[in-house]
Amino acid sequence: MLGFIKKKLGHKGGKDRVVVLGIDGVPCSLLNRFIEKGMMPNLSALAQKGTLTDMSASIPEVSSTSWSTFMTGVNPGRHGIYGFTELRKGTYKWKFPNSDDLRSSTLWDIAGRHGRKSVILNIPSTYPARELNGILTAGFVALDLKKATYPESAYEYLKGIGYKMDVDTRKARESAEALAGEIDSAFEIRKKAILHFFDNAEWNLFIGVITETDRLHHYLWNALDDEGHPQHGFFLDFYKRLDGFIGEMYERTGDDVPFIILSDHGFTTIKKEIYLNAWLKEKGYLKFRKDNPESLEDMLAESRVFVLDPARFYIHTKERYPEGSVAAGEYEDLRRKLREELLALEVDGRKVIKSVFFREELYSGDLFNEAPDLVALPYEGYDLKGSINKDRISGKGFLTGGHTREDAVFYINRGVNRKDINIIDVGPTIMSLLDISGNNFDGGSLV
Amino acid sequence: MAQDEREKLMDLSLEEKIDHSKKIIREAIDKFGTEKMAVAWTGGKDSTTMVWLFRETCRELGVPMPRCMFIDEGYVFDEIWDIVNQLKKEWDLNVVIVKNTDVSDKAEKVGDMIRVADLNERNRQEIAKLEYEEEEFPFEPESFVGNHLMKTVAMNVFLEDNGITALSTAIRWDEQEARVEETFFSSRENPPHTRIQPILHFKERDIWNFIFKYNIPFCVLYKEGYRSLGAKGSTVKMADIPAWEQDLENTYERAGRGQSKEEIMGKLRDLGYM
């Protein structure tokens, strides 16, 4: 506590400090609703003295891409993280991009080059931890705490308190109650670690991310509005506790220091999951040599298109893939036809695809060639999936909540200079608040 | 092999398992002799068990022990060298240290970048086969290129240069899902040889029971909590209690190693991906 007071005095005016609290998968609309109900008094007070607004996430609207866009301030065509899965170059084998695949400097890399210290806790897609001027422990998908954490002393501390890198989602298979218990204990230990480093580490840039919100939403979204759901109370109570934590963080930060809250995508009820590879199979675009393919290694060479999660379409070109079948001259017609057919795709008499983008409409940069050829976004409630072993186009899975690209949240205890905000703008905003200029970002500062 | 046959073998008592392994080894020696045979030894608990079984069987048959192949992938734990040197002496083993020095000589330490153009033709061809197109790659024994050059290529060159027709390795069915299809003998191409896999039916628990029953020396790292030993940079402790005291049946032995693909897939599946 003493260290905390000392530090606050030493940084009077807060000119070189920024605090960021990430809340994975939290929709702005949900926060507004809870504020109206009086369930989040701290956030409500913060909204009075700053800007609480909705924000667009990255495309695709998954945590790895969205947080990577946040932490670099550039589009996936430059940072290289298009999703949780890729195929290893020149093969059909799975690859799972991690921090080694991130090709742009992060906010803390840049801050470090300007002599600033950072504390970076639990941001998805930062595993394994890379060296930095400060402290980092990685978020999802992190496998081993030691490799997830830099430096060693931070690892020793986290190990000592029994830090959990993530909610053990396998508990969901036991019961909703067991999962709630897991979410609860992960949230508690996360808060403890965040506050510890906030108080005891030296930093200019502090970023702590709560990911329990995303797990809560995926598994228990149906508990939100169903008063009879056994976890309904837990869901609401979780948000009250989150509000308590926001209040605690803000009290430590103070009005003078810029305080940002953001999420990486929104959430909504899943009406149906849409299995795009099953649709491609039905249309004759995709063929496997087995009934139950395990990976795209089981795909037949004559296949024209395949999908990686959530809705990244890859045209099986001769140029890009060892067994590709689509010639350069066929590419343009094929992608136009695909877009048309996708926009017309109906399930139970309703359209499911809201928009389809060609790669050049979304991405630019050195890694543009690694981009998906088309990316689709659904109408709300349809969860687009890249599963390869489904034989129906739509169905229900075990998750009740799914991501939305719109309705992510952005908060800052100041005014902002524009209305339409995208997650790509948050990094440049932070750098500008730290008075670090001369960066080549794709996003622009909001202050 | 059918599942029920596999399960039957895995349910045998330790002594029956040892007998079965010796039978496989006898068959292998019958067929290939010991001259053109090699035993892949890592200094780890499984391959040390296998080396002991070979030594016993050779003694019973009155034939010389085949040579042991040890791959030095450039980042070996000191504790592994200790046990290898100790057993080499105690058991009078002929150990051949296999190393892709053309690669390792170009790096001072792990993580250093190596230029593809500086390597010999064989290594350059191997990199081309991987369709790796960068001009440089990091010297990381468990990375995509590093693993291939320092382990696979090093081993293949040894097999080719010595005309090895049979190589015995210590993989086990219970290590990971992907291993259940393995058989006691299986043929390989490039270079053509037969793999002998005589301890497939041992469970992790059997290995420890065996080690303690026969008083087999083992690497001190297991005592410190490592369950499975790979390269130094990618192997982590699973717990601070000795490997044999850990919950072997309900946790993953290889989770401490760089072999993380299955785990990542599991985590992604839990969130609705894949």
pLDDT of res. A370: 95
Q: Which residues contact A248 (CB under 8 A, 6 or more apart)?
A: A191, A195
Question: Contact, A210 vs A67, CB < 8 A?
Answer: no
Tell me if B179 sits within 8 A of B172, measured CB to CB.
Answer: yes
Ranges for all domains in chain A classified under CATH 3.40.720.10: 2-270+401-433
Q: Which of A89, A143, A215 sits opposite B131 (nearest CB)?
A: A89
Residue B87 lies in a domain: yes
Phi–psi pair at B81, nearest 5 degrees: -55, -40
Contacts of A397 (CB under 8 A, 6+ apart): A270, A273, A383, A385, B272
**Chain center to CA of A256:** 28
- Cβ-Cβ contacts under 8 Å, B256 against chain A: 144
Residue B172 or residue A308, greater confidence:
A308
B62: domain CATH number?
Answer: 3.40.50.620
Instruction: Judge: A89–B265 Cβ closer than 8 Å, yes or no.
Output: no
- Provide the pLDDT confidence category of residue B225 given band limits of 50, 70 and 90: confident
What pLDDT shows up at residue B252? Answer: 54
Across the interface, whether the CB atoms of B131 and A385 are under 8 A apart is answered: no
Q: What angle do CA A306, A310, A311 make, to 5 degrees?
A: 50
pLDDT reading at A143 higher than 80: yes
**Chain A residues with CB-CB distance to B262 below 8 A:** none
Q: Number of folded domains in chain B?
A: 1
Q: Using the beta-carbon criterion (under 8 Å), do A84 and B263 form an inter-chain contact?
A: no
- Report whether pLDDT(A234) > 90: yes
Chain B from 228 to 257: CB within 8 A of any A CB? 236, 255-256
Cβ–Cβ contacts within 10 Å for residue B178, how many? 10
Asked if A144 and B236 come within 8 Å (Cβ–Cβ), the reply is: yes
Q: Model confidence at A10, in pLDDT bands (50, 70, 90)? A: very low
A195 touches chain B (CB under 8 A): no
Contact check, Cβ <8 Å, B271/A85: no
Instruction: Indicate the CATH number for domain A272-395.
Output: 3.30.1360
Q: Which of A88, A170, A309 comes nearest B270 by C-beta?
A: A170
* Interface touch B131/A94, C-beta < 8 Å: no
Give the model confidence (pLDDT) of B5-14 as tens digits: 888 999 999 9
Q: What is the mean pLDDT of residues B213-234?
A: 78
- The pLDDT value given to residue A398: 87
CA distance to partner chain A, nearest, from residue B190 (Å):
20
Q: Can you tell me the mean pLDDT for B230-251?
A: 59
d(CA B171, CA B188): 15
Instruction: Report the alpha-carbon distance of residue B265 to residue B273 in Å, rounded.
Output: 8
Is A386 in contact with B261 (Cβ distance < 8 A)?
Answer: no
Is it the case that residue A428 has pLDDT exceeding 60?
A: yes
Flag whether pLDDT at B239 surpasses 80. no
Question: Which region among A356-370, A415-429, B103-117 has the lowest average model confidence (pLDDT)?
Answer: B103-117
Which residues of chain B lie closer than 8 angstroms to A398, CB-CB?
Answer: 272
Minimum mean pLDDT range among A202-216, B25-39, B68-82: B68-82
User: Mean pLDDT over all residues of chain B?
Assistant: 86
Decide if B272 and A89 are in contact by the 8 Å CB cutoff: no
Give domain A2-270+401-433's CATH architecture: 3-Layer(aba) Sandwich (3.40)
Predicted confidence (pLDDT) at residue A9 exceeds the cutoff of 70: no
Q: What is the pLDDT of residue B182?
A: 84
pLDDT tens readout for residues B87-116: 999 999 999 999 999 999 998 887 788 999
Domain with CATH 3.30.1360 in chain A: 272-395
Task: Tell me if chain B has a CB within 8 Å of the CB of A164.
Answer: no
Report, as an integer, the average pLDDT of B126-135.
81
Among A244-253, B48-57, B198-207, B228-237, the range scoring the smallest mean pLDDT is B228-237
Asked if pLDDT for residue A387 goes beyond 70, the answer is: yes
Measured between CB atoms, does A403 come within 8 Å of chain B?
Answer: no
Tell me if B252 is assigned to some domain: no
Instruction: Output the 3-class SS for A94-130.
Output: EECCCHHHCCCCCHHHHHHHCCCCEEEECCCCCCCCC
Residue A381's nearest CA partner among A214, A268, A217 is A268
Interface test with A, best of B144, B240, B268, B269 (most A CBs within 10 A): B268
Among candidate residues A105, A108, A113, A60, the one with its CA nearest the CA of residue A78: A105
pLDDT of B272: 82
What element of type H or E holds A272? strand A272-275
C-alpha pair distances (Å), A245 with each of A119, A220, A261, A276: 18, 21, 12, 40
Q: Which residues of chain B does A91 touch, with a Cβ-Cβ cutoff of 8 Å? A: 131
Sequence length of chain A is 447
Quote the minimal CA–CA distance from A308 to chain B in Å: 8
Assign B231 a pLDDT band (cuts: 50, 70, 90): low
| Residue B139 maps to a domain | yes
Give me B209's structure tokens. Answer: 């029971």
In angstroms, how far is the first alpha carbon of chain B from the final one? 29
Task: Enumerate the residues of chain B whose CB falls inside 8 A of the CB of residue A296.
Answer: none
pTM higher than 0.80 for the full model?
Answer: no
pLDDT band at residue B242 under the 50/70/90 scheme = low
Reported as a single tens digit per residue, the pLDDT across A389-422 is 898 999 998 899 999 999 999 999 999 999 999 9
Mean pLDDT, chain A, as a whole number? Answer: 94
Rounded Cα distance between B115 and B72, Å, is 21
Identify the pLDDT of residue A2.
42
**Most confident option among A276-290, B118-132, B188-202:** A276-290
Q: Which residue of B has its CA nearest to A100?
A: B143
Does any domain span residue B233?
no
Q: For chain A, how far is it from start to end, CA to CA, in angstroms?
A: 32
- For the ranges A228-237, A301-310, B223-232, the lowest mean pLDDT is seen at B223-232
User: Above 70 in pLDDT, residue A259?
Assistant: yes
Return d(Cα A38, Cα A33) in angstroms, integer.
Answer: 9
Is residue B108 in a domain?
yes
Where residue B1 falls among pLDDT bands split at 50, 70, 90? confident
Interfacial A residues in 256-275 facing B (CB < 8 Å): 273
One-letter amino acid for residue A343 of the chain:
L
B50-78: pLDDT as tens digits: 999 999 999 999 999 999 999 998 878 88
Question: pLDDT above 70 covers what percent of chain B?
Answer: 86
Tell whether B32 is covered by a domain: yes
Closest residue of chain B to A95, computed from CA coordinates: B261
